[in-house]
Structure 1
Amino acid sequence: MVYANAMLAGSFIVAAIGAQKDLRLWAAALVLHLVGYLALALRPHLPELAYVLIANLAFGGLLSLFLVGVNRLRGRLSGVQWTVWPVVAMGVLAIIVTDYGLRTKLISAIMLLQAGLLLRTTVGYRRENVGRRGAELLIAGALIWSAALVVRISAELFGWDNSESVSDSTWSQLILYLASLSATILIAISVPMMLRERSEAALQASERHYRRLIESSNEGVVIISDLMIRYANPAACGLLGAPADALIDRPYLDYLHPDDRELSLRVHQLRLKGQGDHQSYEVRLRRRDGVERWVRMNGVRYDWGGRPATLAFMSDITQQHQEHEKDRELAFVDPLTGLDNRRRLLMRMHDALEQARADNHLVGVVFLDLDNFKPLNDKHGHAAGDDLLIQVGQRLRQRVRSTDAVARLGGDEFVVLLPGLGPDMEAAWSKARPLAEGIREALGKPYQVVPVAMRDESPHLERVITHRCSASIGLVLSHPGEIDAQGLLDRADQAMYRAKEAGRNRVSN
């Protein structure tokens, strides 16, 4: 029996020193169990008081430690009075009670109380953790221990046992020893099971918790393994425009814009190597219904069924992207006419000159200023002037080629960029001048202007303002190999002033 207890205690100590720190308390209890039986085994070599005191303190201490251990598994702290005082009482009884029979009955009663508390606590743990086999084994051990103690007390009370000292080998002592060993074996088996079951329950609870968080998240969450979608939460299904069962085991690249697939694949492969965690990037999702959504992708490496995967998070940034594009567009567009502004015009001119140099072509610039615009503003207000400027923009769009660009520089100044006029200077002039003359003729026709104050009403004929407004136009061509966009624009501006000085409503070089 001593050898069996030594083996159990030793195995628990090894496990406790290793990964299972929660086993330390139980290892200490088994060590006390071993100490108790060693004291009994060495009783021929020890004073009676010594081995009786050591054995009682050891057995009382191990039951107290078992009780503390179960309470810790329940997440509770047992009261000091139920763990300390039984041990103290058993030690005092071992010292002051010399009558073997009385001492046996009192100490057995205390141990029975401890076993009962252990049984009640374990039953409570079992009730809180349905289906726990480890707790059931511990309950069986506590019941065996309690039953043996009841038999021992009954034998003393009813005279069934005539032993007069611990050294007497009687049937009741044999039952108690065997029951103690059996209970200890059951407890030794039950404790690792209870710890494992507790860990599994905690893991399952954690998984349920995080699954609820993911399922209720407004952010799309997908798991990608072997380039396939393995999981998609409801938010991701909404972004991808398909239910979960239609997404699972489908190639995730199918749901990305073709231009964004290479980037996404590269980041996915980096994450699989553990090098791209939390690297964010923006891609376009292409849904089955044809709708595109901009999302910001982020993620980390993840294990899915033993296979390397990525846990990806998708934040819908479609609205922000649209607003950004709108702001970006406004930075290059004249808000009144919708034409290019000076900033975009210079960018287009620079690109056109670079291309012209590469192709050995010429570029033309038409710079125009309205001749009779200020009197309209002065007499009818800026609302009427704005209406005329809008109509000027519309007429310019109608007169230019699809390859030309139209811009408003501000006020009543407009520019038309004429790229791709060919390599020959004379041929380029023969193309550019008719375009400039056509613009002059189109802008010279009368305008029907309605002031803003009248636009919400049904305009009558007498409320419509008829205004004539010609244009002075400067036309220039780039020099071969010229790349100075601002210089070319300045030359066109100077040519426009020459048109004004020459009498207006004309095209000057």
Structure 2
Amino acid sequence: MIIHLVQNAALLLSLCWLQSLNHRFWDRNYSAAQLMSGLLFGFTCVIGMMIALEPESGLIFDARSVVLSMAALFGGALVSGIAGLIAAAYRLWLGGAGMWGGLGDIVLSVLLGLGYRYFHLRGKVGRGPGALLIFGLLVHILMLLLFNLQPISNAAWQASVSMLLVMPVATVWLGWMLADIARRGRDERELNIAATAFETRQGMLVTDPSSRILRCNQAFSAITGYSAEEVVGKKASLLSSGRHDAAFYQAMWQQLAATDRWQGEVWNRRKNGEIYPEWLSISAVRNPRGQLTHYVASMDDITERKAAEARIQHLALFDALTGLANRSLLLDRVQYAMNTGARSGQYAALLFLDLDGFKSINDLHGHHTGDQLLRLVAERLGDATFASDTVARLGADEFVVMIESLAGEHQEAATQAEQFAKELLITLGKFYQLDALKLHIGASIGVTLFNDDSSTASELIQQAELAIHQAKAAGKNTMRFFDPAMQKAVSARLRLEEDIRRGLQAEEFIPYLQPQLDEAGRVVGAEVLARWQHPRRGLLGPGVFIEVAEQAGLVEQVDFQMLRQACHRLAVWRQSPATASLSLAVNLSARLLYQADFVDKLLQLLELSGADPYRLKLELTETMLLDDMPAAVARMHQLREHGIRFSIDDIGTGYSSLAYLQTLPLDQLKIDQSFVRELPENGNSLAIIRAICALAGSLQLEVIAEGVETEEQHKQLQDIGCRHFQGYLFGRPMPLDEFERRVTMAPEEEPQRALSCPGRSELHARAGEASTERDVKPCC
């Protein structure tokens, strides 16, 4: 009996040892490990039956119930199923009187083990020694009852009772051994995971509670330059850079003690002495009793990130081309200077610089040369200022210099700023050597002074910019101080601009017509002139709003509204014989002509209104055609194909040449009023008009003279071949209904036209009624 127990104990030990090897070997292959476990438990049962206690023939007492129940408990259905099949197959092969009881033993052990596993996984029972002992007793009591169901001898009965005393203990022992194997397997896996995680791209460091280094990974060595052998056993303070004071480390340790965690940016020192920034995270490790056992630190070298942040910050605050401050940094420094001036009472000055003729250099020599020149200008500005001054580039060729600590008295500060500005003009006016190219370029400077925060930083820059416009208007290469009247003018212009936008939305812009007559004195058409029927200010002439509309990019909307109303009027006139032959001339801005969809929009407007395109004449100025002559010619030909006619306005005042007049699909030349006004006294004007008429005759073009104010001018124009006329002599710009009444009245009812021009002072007073241009023309 003792020998039998020793043999079974050795068998179970062997099973445990083999199971341990199985877990290690097949750790990464769960299915293979399960299969091998099933085979190990099965063949253990077979060996156990080979050395079993056999009180009578065919009746076998062994530890298979212990092995199979534990196989089910720890391995599950697959392991216990394989083991049970192997054991059952061998028991069937052995046969004998107790075969069926032995098979029942196998099945019952597996089922009971699976039941135990089921309840254990759901947390209903544990796997401690007590629970295993109870389970072993239960299994073997049931086995004993199973044996009692079959006739056995007294010796067999005594043997089964002896097994009842031994097998529960064996169950506890085997269960404890298998649980330990499973626990060690889990620990090894977790250690492997931890070791793998430890060797990450982050530097890792493990210290004891006194910050003595116990372990580090390869990433730590790569970051710091220290090998593990050089740092293990030493204090982590060997990495200290000296940049952080005692208060920094005290705050870090206080947070670690309070929360067991700390993270932040620190500067450490590599083995070679280089100081570098890193992001450090420290966690405290405590045992189950809450005692501090270790510190685990992870670190990232953020040198590249800090460099990238510095580059981004530099781009955000400095100009990429010149390295000077940009608008954002300038605004910050101006605000600081305002605050400083408010406390000290000392003035500071903003000097807004704009290079004169820079665009020509760009166009002539290319943007690469322009960029080189800007860098040289930035260098000269930097050399001419102190370190406390600020030099900024706002864009293109615009620079701003801010000088501080001027005098506390306004006039003295202005004198200092003026002297500095003159020195800058001299410095910037010297020749620039760009490789083999020698360039000269001047600058205009606008200056504004400040010593408090009564204006915002943006407003101060705007003031200096307004002053520079005055400097350029004064002839360039000079300087001007900001005058509050400039701001008042700008504010008025902005208010007018907004009012124009509102007026366009409300369609307050209306056409006035100035008659155009032939040599027989018959009205053959009219020029459409824009007027603004303002709800509060009354009727406004173009001199009030055209310049602002052009600067704001609104003049094309005004022109198109005039076109739309002209087309509508032509459609109405088409229905009456008295007006069907009349034409309307509409001024066209360059912006409108060069719009990509202008041709389509105009043709659609003609179609929708029902106007006769042959009665619509578009007046263009010769200078606007020079911007893009091929595009202008192409658009004019498209419109000419549909019957629209063209007139060149202000002929003789621009760059007229026979070459481009031959290219353009023109119908009419319009003599500018500046020549007509000088008749009959000025012989040069007469010669120019005679040349224009001769040119028109050779090109088979119609000629019309504008600004005719006296009978002498009218007669002289007729004598030299002009056949169409427009001016105050024949009628001022008038509303539509007044023009139509004049056209439709009987000839004998037509009033005598004025024989003399109104006085010059009166004409200047009526500048708002300028007729032949959108701009002011006082003598028409």
Q: TM-score range by the shorter chain?
A: 0.5 to 0.7
1:220 corresponds to: 203
Match of 1:235 among 219, 222, 240: 219
Does residue 208 in structure 1 map to residue 180 in structure 2? no
Matched letter for residue 363 of structure 1: A
Which residue number corresponds to residue 411 of structure 1?
396
CA contact (8 A) 1:227 1:251 kept: no
- Which residue, 152, 170, 192 being the options, matches 2:176? 192
Residue by residue over 1:293-336, the C-alpha shift from the partner in whole angstroms, topping out at 9 and shown as x without a partner, is 44444565433895254433333443333223312321222222
Q: 2:300 corresponds to which letter in structure 1? A: S
Larger RCO of the pair (alpha carbons < 8 Å, separation 6+): 1
Residue 198 of structure 1 and its aligned partner are, at CA, apart by 4.1
Whole-Å Cα distance in 2 between the matches of residues 378 and 206 of structure 1?
71
Q: Which residue of 2 is the match for residue 469 of structure 1?
A: 441
Alignment of 1:124-139 (within 5 A): none
> What is the aligned counterpart of 2:338 among 353, 363, 379?
353
Q: Which residue, out of 364, 368, 372, partners 1:379?
A: 364
Give the Å deviation of 1:445. 0.7
Check 1:353–1:438 CA distance in 2 against 1; reply closer, same or farther (3 A cut).
same
- Give the conservation status (yes or no) of the 8 Å contact 1:214–1:221: yes
What is the DSSP-based 3-state SS (H/G/I as helix, E as strand, rest coil) of the residue aligned with 1:258? coil
Kept after mapping to 2: 8 A contact 1:239/1:293: no
Query: Which structure is larger by alpha-carbon Rg, 1 or 2?
Result: 2
Deviation at 1:374, TM superposition (A): 3.0
Q: How far is the alpha carbon of 1:81 from its aligned partner?
A: 2.5
Mapping of residues 292-311 of structure 1, within 5 Å = 292-298=275-281, 300-303=283-286, 307-311=292-296
Partner of 1:20: none
Q: In the alignment, residue 207 of structure 1 is paired with which amino acid? A: L
1:179 deviates by 8.7
Distance 1:290 1:359 in 2: 45
Q: Which residue of 1 aligns with 2:462?
A: 490
Aligned to 1:63: 64
Distance 1:270 1:337, change over 3 A: same
> 1:482, CA displacement in angstroms?
4.1
Aligned to 1:37: none
2:347 to 362, 370, 377: 362
Offset at 1:417? Answer: 1.4
2:319 pairs, out of 334, 344, 347, with 334
Provide closer, same or farther for how the CA distance between residues 377 and 224 of structure 1 changes in structure 2, counting only shifts above 3 A: same
Separation in structure 1 between the aligned mates of residue 338 and residue 154 of structure 2, nearest angstrom: 114
1:344 corresponds to 2:316:
no
> 1:80 is aligned with what amino acid?
G
Q: Please give the alpha-carbon distance, in whole angstroms, between the structure 1 residues aligned to 2:88 and 2:463.
A: 103
Closer, same or farther in 2 for the Cα pair 1:271/1:508, shift >3 Å? same
* Compared CA separation, residues 431 and 275, structure 1 to 2 (3 A): farther
Distance 1:384 1:168 in 2: 116
RMSD: 4.5
Structure 1 466/70 Cα, relative in aligned 2: closer, same or farther at 3 Å?
Answer: same
Out of 235, 244, 259, the residue aligned to residue 250 of structure 1 is 235
Q: Deviations over 1:432-457 (max 9, x none)?
A: 4443333222111101124xxxxxxx
1 CA distance for matches of 2:362 and 2:201?
53
> What SS does the corresponding residue of 2:370 show, helix, strand or coil?
helix
Structure 2 letter corresponding to 1:367: F
Cα distance between partner residues in 1 of 2:309 and 2:169: 71
2:450 maps to which of 460, 473, 478: 478
Residues 1:190 and 1:424: Cα distance change in structure 2 (over 3 Å) = farther
**Which 5+ residue runs of structure 2 have no aligned equivalent?**
1-55, 107-150, 482-780
- Change in Cα spacing, 1:261 to 1:362, as seen in structure 2 (3 Å) is farther
Q: Specify whether residues 312 and 265 from structure 1 end up closer, same or farther in structure 2 by C-alpha distance, changes over 3 A only.
A: farther
SS in 1 for 2:317: coil
Q: Look up the SS of the partner of 1:242 in the other structure.
A: coil
Alpha-carbon distance between aligned partners in 1 of 2:376 and 2:155, rounded to the nearest angstrom:
121
Give the residue type in structure 1 aligned to 2:202: E
2:84 aligned partner: 80
Aligned to 2:138: none
- Whole-angstrom distance in 2 between the partners of 1:109 and 1:494: 110
Seen in structure 2, the aligned counterparts of structure 1 residues 304 and 429 have a Cα distance that, compared at 3 Å, is farther
Counterpart-to-counterpart distance in 1, 2:166 and 2:425: 111
Report the Cα distance in structure 2 between the residues aligned to 1:408 and 1:378, rounded to whole angstroms: 21
Matched to 1:79, the amino acid is A
Q: 1:19-34 alignment to 2 at 5 Å?
A: none
Give the aligned partner of residue 393 of structure 1.
378
* Distance (Å, rounded) in 2 between the aligned partners of 1:247 and 1:448: 59
CA distance in 2: counterparts of 1:241 and 1:487, whole angstroms: 54
1:435 and 2:436 correspond: no
| AA at the equivalent of 1:199 | R
- Report deviation, 1:186: 6.4
Q: Tell me the CA shift for residue 390 of structure 1.
A: 1.0
Aligned amino acid, residue 65 of structure 2:
S
- Given the superposition, is the C-alpha separation of residues 108 and 389 from structure 1 closer, same or farther in structure 2, using an over 3 Å criterion? closer
Higher helix share: 1
Residue type matched to 1:467 in 2?
L
Q: Which residue in the other structure is 2:535 paired with?
A: none
Contact 2:202 2:220 in 1 (8 A): yes
Q: CA deviation at 1:63?
A: 2.9
What corresponds to 1:47 in structure 2?
none
TM-score, with length taken from structure 1: 0.60
How far apart are the structure 2 equivalents of 1:355 and 1:225? 53
The answer to whether the 8 A contact 2:341-2:451 is kept is no
Shift of 1:82: 4.1
Counterparts of 2:406 and 2:206 in 1: how far apart (Å)?
55
Judged with a 3 Å threshold, the aligned counterparts in structure 2 of structure 1 residues 367 and 294 are, in CA distance, closer, same or farther, namely same
Give the whole-Å Cα distance in 2 for the aligned partners of 1:85 and 1:169.
23
Distance 1:169 1:109 in 2: 14
Aligned equivalents of 1:226 and 1:405: distance in 2?
52
Change (3 A) 1:503 1:226: farther
> Aligned pair in 2 of structure 1 residues 225, 501: CA closer, same or farther (>3 Å)?
farther
Matching residue of 1:323? 308
Q: Label 1:422 to 1:335 Cα distance change in 2 as closer, same or farther (>3 A).
A: same
| Contact 1:405 1:417 survives alignment (8 Å) | yes
Quote the Cα distance in structure 2 between the aligned partners of 1:109 and 1:495.
Answer: 113
1:63-96 per-residue CA deviation (whole Å, 9 max, x = no partner) reads 3232442687689444323456789999x97xxx
Q: Is the 8 A contact 2:68 2:83 kept in 1?
A: no
Instruction: Determine what percentage of the aligned residue pairs are the same residue.
Output: 25
Q: Number of aligned residue pairs: give it.
A: 374
Report the CA distance shift for 1:309/1:424 in structure 2 as closer, same or farther (over 3 A): farther
| CA shift digits 1:32-54 (9 cap, x unpaired) | xxxxxxxxxxxxxxxxxxxx9xx
Deviation, 1:395, is 0.6
**Structure 2 residue identity aligned to 1:234:** Q
